[in-house]
Structure 1
Amino acid sequence: MSKTMLNTLSSFYNTLDQKMSYMIEKPVQTHLRRVYFSLSASLLAAAAGAYVHLFTDFISGSVWSVLGSLVLLITINATVHTRENELYRFLALMAFSALSGLSTGPLLDFVISVNASLIVTAFMVTAVLFGCFTLAALIAPDRKYLYLIGKNVAWHVERNVLGVHV
């Protein structure tokens, strides 16, 4: 019984290894770089929106910022992806992220009253995760290494940053 189960597991892992062991094509690597760059830039835009709420009296997070972010989200989804619309969609993503950060301002006010270091920790962990996956996309020649590098480095960094030792 256990021999059959071991043979089945061995066959499964060999098949999985064959499917994942091909090289990542250059267009796919370029696409991954652009995706992770967009995610990192939207993180910075959201942080800027939260900064505007917390440290200025110019605009504060309200229902209008939530509605504006929803309108921008619908705009991004409704706009057809072409080369001509690429910059427009990216700018709409940045505006959406900034308004989303602005609308999280009241939540951040509450978190600051509890423990302000949570905000910095959450921001740093998110930034490090995006950085890990971006570096994995840049240096991994093979698909299985992309998964391995990204997940392992992210796990080790989060474990050390958050102080979770299993």
Structure 2
Amino acid sequence: MTLNSIGLDTLKTQQLATDLNTLLANFQLYYQNLRGIHWNIKGKAFFDLHAKFEELYTDANLKVDEVAERILTLGATPLHTFDDYIKAAKVPVGKNVSKDEDAVRLIIDSLTELLKIERQILDSSDDANDEGTNSMMSDFITEQEKTVWMMKAWLGETV
């Protein structure tokens, strides 16, 4: 086993970086979806949702940066083109979403995909003894589970 300069197995960190790039691509599409629904939301819930969507896209933008910097910390290069993002993304694309319930459903569906990727990375980072990535994924998962719960509650649904 060869260790990198931060004491992690180089083969395992290469795979983690690949998985983190998948997460990065999906976060970028999620971010763009949030910008779109922030701009295009209409209806009686406009003021509340417009502000909520801004809060969510600001947070997503920070997470994009954190993920990219973690990829760099692991010695890899973060994806940085829309072409790469689209090829790697599983998050649904929300085009011309302006209805409140459709926008909230898009967020739930997007976070559901992100959570799947993050849980897989959490397992892999635990196996690689990569506490930095592990901690990041744990924090992301905790926040996103709460957001899913709140969005479902807004829709009148349970988790």
With the shorter chain as reference, the TM-score category is 0.3 to 0.5
Provide TM-score, normalisation by structure 2. Answer: 0.40
Provide TM-score, normalisation by structure 1. Answer: 0.39
When you count helix as a share of all residues, which structure comes out higher?
Answer: 1
Q: Which has the larger radius of gyration?
A: 1
